[in-house]
Amino acid sequence: MATQIITLIGVLVGALTSFLATAAAERAKFRREMTTRWDERKLDTYIEYVSCIKEIQRAAMEAGRAREQDKDASGALAEMESSENRRSILFEAFVLLSDERAATAAHAVNQRTWDLLRAARDQSSGVPALRAIPLVETLNVLHEAARSDLAIARG
C-alpha cells in the first residue's frame, strides 16, 4: 500500500511539474507573440508619422519656392494642411504605442512642425525662412529614440 501511495505521489508531482513547465512555456510564447505584434504596429506607426512630417516639410518648401517665384502657393499649402491633419491623428497612435523617450521626441517634432506650418502660412516666408526651422535635427532625435524603443541596433 505504501508503494502505491509513493507511486501516486510521484505521478502527481510529475504531472504538476509537466503542467507548470508547459504553462510557463506557453506564457513566454504568448508574450513574445504580443511583443512582436506590437513592435510591428509600432514600426508601421513610426514610419507613417515620420513620412507625414516629411510630406508637410516638402509641401511647405514648395509653397516657399512658389512665393519666391511669384507663383500661386495655394496647392502646396492645401497639401500641407491635409498632411497636418493626418499628422495630428497619427500622433495619437504614436504616443499610445511609444515609450516615453520616443513620445518626448515626437512632441519636439510637433513643435518644430508647428513652427514650420506658421512660417509657411505667412505670405512673406520664402525658402530661407523655412529652412531656418530645425525640423531635421528634431527628426534625427526622434529616429534615434524610435530605434531604441524598437531595439534596433545600429552598426
The amino acid at 14: G
For residue range 8-55, list pLDDT tens digits in order.
Answer: 787 777 777 877 777 677 786 667 665 566 788 999 999 999 999 999
- The total number of residues written for the chain in this structure: 155
Between residues 84 and 126, which one has the greater pLDDT? 84
Per cent of the chain over pLDDT 70 is: 92
- Give, for 130, the enclosing helix (H) or strand (E): helix 127-131
Segments making up each domain of the chain, as ranges: 34-149
Nearest-angstrom CA–CA distance, 129 and 139: 18
- Rounded to two decimals, the pTM is 0.77
* Cell (9 digits) for 144: 534615434
Q: What is the pLDDT of residue 68?
A: 93
For residue range 85-129, list pLDDT tens digits in order.
Answer: 999 999 999 999 999 999 999 999 999 999 999 999 998 888 999
* CA-based end-to-end distance of the chain: 67
Provide CATH code, domain 34-149. 1.20.120
